[in-house]
Amino acid sequence: MKVDTIQSLFSKFKEGKLYHRYITNNHIEPLLKNFDDLVEVDIIGQSVLNKNIYSIKIGKGSKKLFMWSQMHGNESTTTKAIFDILNTLISADSSIQHILNNCNICIIPILNPDGAEAYTRVNANEVDLNRDAQLRTQPESKILRRIFEDFNPDFCYNLHGQRTIFSAGKTNKPATVSFLAPAQDEACTLTANRKIAMEVISKMNVMLQQVIPNQVGVYDDAFNLNCVGDTFQSENKPTMLFEAGHYSNDYQREQTREYIYMSLLTSLDYISKTHVDGSLYKSYFEIPENDKCFLDIIIRNAKMDLNFHVTDIGIQFQERLINSEVKFIPKIEKIENLDSYYGHKEIDAKGNLVLDGDFLPLKINYENDFVMINKEKTSILSK
């Protein structure tokens, strides 16, 4: 499927009722009610706080694909992209009918509805569900496992979001989309099903390089059987981790949403048309490994006191839910030489004095919407 075709489909079928970073059951339940007979929607269980957890099934093919999103409640970009994909699949567009004919897709759109509502990574018991794959102490973990066993997928899609700190290698390019074919043993053996996952990821990367060149990364494959992806991979189910990351000035993750959509649709198209045997896996290793080279803002060449001490100031946004809206609060993380870091936004203080809003010296953990540079107010808010 050509890039311009995928972009056109996204523009046509993007779900306009989902926007920004705060996505909960309250946002998706009206959409679930509007799906037609092509889609099977079920309540598959309840969360710790008795919120419904839903599954969505679509397609009549023999290739089974299992997706789950918002295992971490504050990672919502992939959920938005899922509904964009669903809108596309239920359309009468002839370009996607082969996917429905060849694939059977099962999706859990929000696995952690309590965490989604509180906008937290963990569930209501403060457990990271992505570290609960073996013990399965939480109701959400048990539900995921039950659907995995009942559906018996051929491919697993573990859908997540990542922080703005990540770069695609040691570069000034953000890791806008990242992938991983998780390890399935301590030795990180290059097994047959890992190769299958790598082959599909490689095809998505080829597509993404046409729209975000050098902004795709992979995570290191250190093995942790407590993680869901590693567990499913260890049970010989080709598993792919997706991480929705940062794109320039896109703190709402609306542009990244499109790239996740494009990746998902590319994978669906490829799997539906191809017997994926893992033989085309090698280009996976051309994707650079993620590094942590970014801060949200760097103020360069800042004089910190009247003794002419000049250094750099690193600011990281803190995501906070305030009145049902995610706000990005600037917080000073580093005051040091930051030559090894890049800022998504950079400000050159040109050796001028940089102080807080009360004209006092800046300190680590300082939070405010602005700083004073040469006695002038300078905003450090996101756009």
Tokens of 320: 């906070």
Which helix (H) or strand (E) is 166 found in, with range? none
Please name every residue paired with 377 in a beta bridge, in sequence order, or none if there are none.
372
Q: What is the pLDDT of residue 335?
A: 96
Q: What is the pLDDT of residue 382?
A: 87
Q: What is the pLDDT of residue 309?
A: 86
Q: What is the pLDDT of residue 131?
A: 98
Q: What is the pLDDT of residue 92?
A: 81
Mean pLDDT by 10 residues, the chain (383 residues): 97 97 98 90 98 97 98 98 97 92 98 98 98 98 98 98 98 98 97 98 98 97 97 98 98 98 98 98 98 98 86 97 97 97 97 94 95 95 84
Which residues in 133-164 are b (16+ Cβ under 10 Å) and which e? beebebbbbebbbebbeebebbbbbbbbbbbb
CA distance 335 to 218: 29
Rounded to two decimals, the pTM is 0.98
Tell me which architecture the domain covering 294-379 has in CATH.
Roll (2.30)
Instruction: Calculate ∠ Cα 340-174-333, nearest 5°.
Output: 50
Q: What is the pLDDT of residue 149?
A: 98
Q: Would you give the DSSP letter of residue 208?
A: H
Contact in structure between 26 and 67 (CB atoms under 8 Å):
no
CA distance 26 to 286: 41
Phi first, then psi, for residue 85 (nearest 5°) are -65, -45
Q: What is the pLDDT of residue 306?
A: 77
Ordered DSSP codes for 28-40: HHHHHHT--TTEE
- Fold match between domain 3-291 and domain 294-379: no
Please name every residue paired with 376 in a beta bridge, in sequence order, or none if there are none.
373
Strand, helix or coil at 270?
helix
What are the extents of the domains in the chain? 3-291, 294-379
Contact in structure between 246 and 297 (CB atoms under 8 Å):
no
| HSE (side-chain half, CA atoms, 13 Å) at 228 | 28
Tokens of 20: 């920004």
Taking 3-state DSSP, the helix, strand and coil percentages for the chain, each rounded to the nearest 5, stand at 30, 30, 40
CA distance 307 to 312: 15
Place of tokens 């600011």: 315
Q: What is the pLDDT of residue 38?
A: 82
Distances (CA, A) of 153 to 105, 149, 241: 9, 8, 15
CATH number, span 3-291: 3.40.630.10
